[in-house]
Structure 1
Amino acid sequence: MKNQGRLATVLGMVFLAILVVPPVYYMIIVSLKPRSSIYRTPSWLPERSSLDNYVKVLFNDKFLVNIGNSLIVALVTTLLAMILGVLAAYAIARFKFPGRNVASQLILMSYLTPMVLLFIPLSVVVGNLGLADTLSGLILVYLTFAVPLCTWLILGHFREFPPDLEEAASIDGASRMRTLISILLPVSAPALATAASLAFMMAWGELFLALTFVKGQSVMTAPVALQHMSTGDVQQYGPIMAGAVLSAIPVLIVYYISQRWVVQGAAEGAFKG
């Protein structure tokens, strides 16, 4: 039985590798091909490798600025969403007030609401605040989705954690904030890592709202800049693939750093509500 389970796991990993690895590998290969080689018969091996596409994207197209914009948006969104999410989750999990259960359900519903339905209200709010075509406006928009996500994920962990240690700390004179920071947050590292990783990836790779709220070249995020590399019927496959490879690096770094806590958080029930 144990061998059968191990075989099923191996087969599942092989199947996923077949689905995931070839597109990523081909993307890297195309990014290394000169323009003259891209439109020939597709080949899984580059006839001649070249970094021209990366040079063009980073220096001629100023894609490095766009990656910097994405980093600012993703990091600030993640930081604010985590702060607000932790405070909201702690209040719902530990304080007793009328409508507490309703509040937790509304948080989940706000995250599950399709962004298309919120497009016009968000446009009005951002415009009235004078934040149109700015990174600050885009961060504000992303927070409307990232805060409910972080709150819901962290709330499930806070509810599962017994409050005995917190009560003991309060008896010793610790404040609510001190108890939260010194006791609850350290043992909640898996849930926090899971929520932060998902919030970062959402803010990093989002395209629809970014296309709407940022227009200028100096404030474009990486996904928007990649979208604008296609002009009319002309597809610059080499630079696009090079930009996609560069855009994937920060996400891989974040996942590599947090993978241990993410897996542990999933195993411990970080996704329970």
Structure 2
Amino acid sequence: SLLFIPMFQVVYSIGLIDNIVGLMVTYLTFTVPFATWMMIGYFRNVPSELEDAALVDGCSRLQALARIMVPIALPALAVVALFAFTLSWNEFLYALVFIGSDSQKTLTVGLIGLVRGDTFPWGPMMAAALLGALPPTVVYVISQRWVVAGLAAGSVKG
């Protein structure tokens, strides 16, 4: 990543190296722009007449956003949240460099710690990988309803 060294310097200067909070802030620096970019495309396709009608009915802009736009955008928000979660869950490089202590390591970095030279303990590695795949699977199963609703809403005209 092009911004890796400056990002390390910033995280180091504010004292968040070897701290899970520093890693979370780092993940926000690439998931928030991604999510914003994805949601801009979605909100551009929502008819502005819906917001105008809410304003005519007496809603403020914030109320129109909360009562009209966000419920319409729930499927898109679910998809973007899934992408951001997956991106953060699978990230390796920042976690490897920013976290040094064993108690703070992420699963992806911990898996590499199982390798000793040219010896690969396949059983423990596969067990850890399977356990590591459970949280994303649970998140996908729970949010599947909103993803399917978003696909269905985008496919029906009329």
Separation in 2, partners of 1:121, 1:239: 36
**Deviations 1:40-95 (CA, angstroms, capped at 9, x unpaired):** xxxxxxxxxxxxxxxxxxxxxxxxxxxxxxxxxxxxxxxxxxxxxxxxxxxxxxxx
In structure 2, runs of 5+ residues without a counterpart are none
Give runs of aligned pairs for residues 154-233 of structure 1, distance below 5 A.
154-233=39-118
Q: Give 2:17's match in structure 1, choosing from 113, 127, 132.
A: 132
Give runs of aligned pairs for residues 26-41 of structure 1, distance below 5 A.
none
**Deviations 1:7-52 (CA, angstroms, capped at 9, x unpaired):** xxxxxxxxxxxxxxxxxxxxxxxxxxxxxxxxxxxxxxxxxxxxxx
Separation in 2, partners of 1:121, 1:263: 40
TM-score, normalised to structure 2's length? 0.90
Separation in 1, partners of 2:62, 2:9: 36
**Deviations 1:190-212 (CA, angstroms, capped at 9, x unpaired):** 11010000111111111111111
Q: After TM superposition, give the deviation of residue 236 of structure 1 in Å.
A: 1.4
TM-score, normalised to structure 1's length? 0.54
Determine helix, strand or coil for the equivalent of 2:2: helix
Matched AA of 2:112: Q
Give me the identity figure in percent. 47
Q: Give 1:252's match in structure 2, choosing from 126, 132, 137.
A: 137
Separation in 2, partners of 1:181, 1:218: 40
Q: Which of the two has higher C-alpha Rg?
A: 1
Q: After TM superposition, give the deviation of residue 255 of structure 1 in Å.
A: 1.1
Evaluate the alpha carbon distance shift between residue 143 and residue 168 of structure 1 in structure 2; reply closer, same or farther with a 3 A threshold.
same
Give runs of aligned pairs for residues 7-26 of structure 1, distance below 5 A.
none
Determine helix, strand or coil for the equivalent of 1:117: coil
Separation in 2, partners of 1:197, 1:210: 20
Q: After TM superposition, give the deviation of residue 165 of structure 1 in Å.
A: 2.0
Matched, 1:145 2:58: no
> 1:78 corresponds to which residue?
none
In structure 1, runs of 5+ residues without a counterpart are 1-115
Q: After TM superposition, give the deviation of residue 171 of structure 1 in Å.
A: 2.4
Aligned length: 154
CA RMSD, 1 decimal: 1.6
Matched AA of 1:205: N
Q: Give 1:234's match in structure 2, choosing from 95, 103, 119.
A: 119
Q: After TM superposition, give the deviation of residue 136 of structure 1 in Å.
A: 0.9
Q: After TM superposition, give the deviation of residue 263 of structure 1 in Å.
A: 4.3
Matched AA of 2:34: L
Separation in 2, partners of 1:245, 1:207: 17
Q: After TM superposition, give the deviation of residue 131 of structure 1 in Å.
A: 0.7
